[in-house]
């Protein structure tokens, strides 16, 4: 996807919309297919959500805002998972630092 020419895609969308949508679908499907099978289903589901948002939006600006909101939701979910993993990691580290026998009282 590094060689994506935005101007060429805009021109294709304006002059030959049917071909634009075929090429868009081919590019998206190629990207999804390049991932391991377990991830492909999630990527297809996410693409369906994106396509629905674009169809419902009514304008490119509103579609962009809706997709930004979707990305924000995903980032918040990732942040929540990260915080949970950090908390669990800290708990494991504390357990590993305890002396054998489970006593945390200092020896006198």
User: What is the pLDDT averaged over residues 69-91?
Assistant: 96
User: Tokens 């990527």 appear where?
Assistant: 43
Q: Which two tokens stand for residue 64?
A: 């962009």
For residue 47, give Cα distances in angstroms to 8, 18, 33, 66, 82.
Answer: 22, 19, 13, 13, 24
pLDDT, position 10: 92
Predicted TM-score (pTM) of the model is: 0.64
pLDDT, tens digit (0-9, with 9 covering 90-100), for 32-50: 999 999 999 999 999 999 9
Portion of the chain with pLDDT greater than 90, in percent? 84
For residue 106, what pLDDT band results from cuts at 50, 70 and 90?
A: low
């Amino acid at each position: 996807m590094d060689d994506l020419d935005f101007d060429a895609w805009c021109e294709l969308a304006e002059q030959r919309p049917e071909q634009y949508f075929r090429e868009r679908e081919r590019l998206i499907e190629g990207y999804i297919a390049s991932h391991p099978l377990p991830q492909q289903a999630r990527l297809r589901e996410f693409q369906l959500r994106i396509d629905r948002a674009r169809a419902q939006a009514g304008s490119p600006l509103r579609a962009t805002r809706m997709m930004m909101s979707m990305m924000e939701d995903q980032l918040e979910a990732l942040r929540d998972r990260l915080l949970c993993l950090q908390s669990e990691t800290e708990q494991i580290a504390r357990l590993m630092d305890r002396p054998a026998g489970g006593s945390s009282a200092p020896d006198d």
